[in-house]
Amino acid sequence: MSEWWADVVDTFVRCFVNEGRYMLLVNGIGVTIKVSLLAMVIGVIIGFLIALCNLSDKKPLNVIGKVYTDVIRGTPSVTQLMIIYFVVFATINWSKWIIAAIAFGINSGAYVSEIIRAGIMSIDKGQTEAGRSLGLSAKQTMMLIIVPQAVKNIFPAFGNEFITLIKETAIVGYVGLMDIQKAGDFIKSATYQAFMPLVGTAIIYFVLIKILTVALGKYEKRLRRSEIR
């Protein structure tokens, strides 16, 4: 037992302590968080606009929304990332993480649009009629009455999308970014040890997701307080 434990400790030191390899994972966490946060912001903006297109009575807007949603959801995210990085932004000298965030934001926008569309459609039509009867325009009714109510319904789905986004960013290594997964792969290659770096990577992702899940759960409870009678 003591020999087994000594071997585990030795492997841990080789993988994470020697040559300061733990800093690769620390920096990787920062990259993953930066890419995920910016991608989520971009995804929400795009998703809201596409949701409005899908809900519009104007055919050109409706077609744009449906084509965008179908294309993005019908192609792999890794393919989209490589097209955005190696083709669309090939001649633009931007930071890699920003380009990656844009790619993931575009991908997330398609899913967020469906979340928002479903949330808006879940609001009773009487709310729209009430807003219009008060003299509000269609835009004012949407922004002041419908959207605030829809937020409570779509927030849990938003949380799930953000969690999914964090895990999906594990493919940014394809464009040379040193995120958590890429850092684990680098350590694995440098030490010829597979188990410890992969388990360490999995634990880091799990802790990040768990912290986010708890934080989102608490915020959701705050949103729901106004519903308690």
In whole angstroms, what is the distance from residue 153 CA to residue 223 CA?
Answer: 10
Domain ranges in the chain?
2-224
Q: Look up the CATH architecture of domain 2-224.
A: Orthogonal Bundle (1.10)
Helices (H), 138-194: 138-141, 147-168, 180-191
What's the Rg (C-alpha) of the chain?
Answer: 22
Give residue 42's pLDDT: 95
> What tokens appear for 52 in the block?
């409005």
Residues written for the chain? 229
Task: Write the DSSP symbol of residue 122.
Answer: T
Burial of residue 82 (CB within 10 Å: 0-12, 13-18, 19+) is middle
Which residue from 29, 195, 43, 20 is spatially nearest to 106, judged by alpha carbons?
43
Identity of the amino acid at 172:
V
Give residue 226's pLDDT: 58
3-state secondary structure of 146: helix
**Per-residue pLDDT tens listing for the chain (229 residues):** 677 788 878 888 888 888 888 899 999 999 999 999 999 999 999 999 999 898 888 888 889 999 999 999 999 999 999 999 999 998 888 999 999 999 999 999 999 999 988 888 877 777 777 777 777 777 777 777 777 777 777 888 888 889 999 999 999 998 889 999 999 999 999 888 888 899 999 999 999 999 999 988 888 787 777 555 4
Burial of residue 110 (CB within 10 Å: 0-12, 13-18, 19+) is buried
The answer to whether the beta carbons of residues 44 and 112 sit under 8 Å apart is: yes
For the entire predicted model, the pTM comes to: 0.87
In whole angstroms, what is the distance from residue 107 CA to residue 8 CA?
Answer: 40
Q: How far apart are the first and last CA of the chain?
A: 59
Give residue 227's pLDDT: 57
Q: Given the structure tokens 């903006």, which residue do they identify?
A: 45
Give residue 30's pLDDT: 93
The answer to whether the beta carbons of residues 166 and 212 sit under 8 Å apart is: yes
Give residue 1's pLDDT: 62
In whole angstroms, what is the distance from residue 79 CA to residue 90 CA?
Answer: 15
Which residue from 223, 195, 151, 170 is spatially nearest to 29, judged by alpha carbons?
170
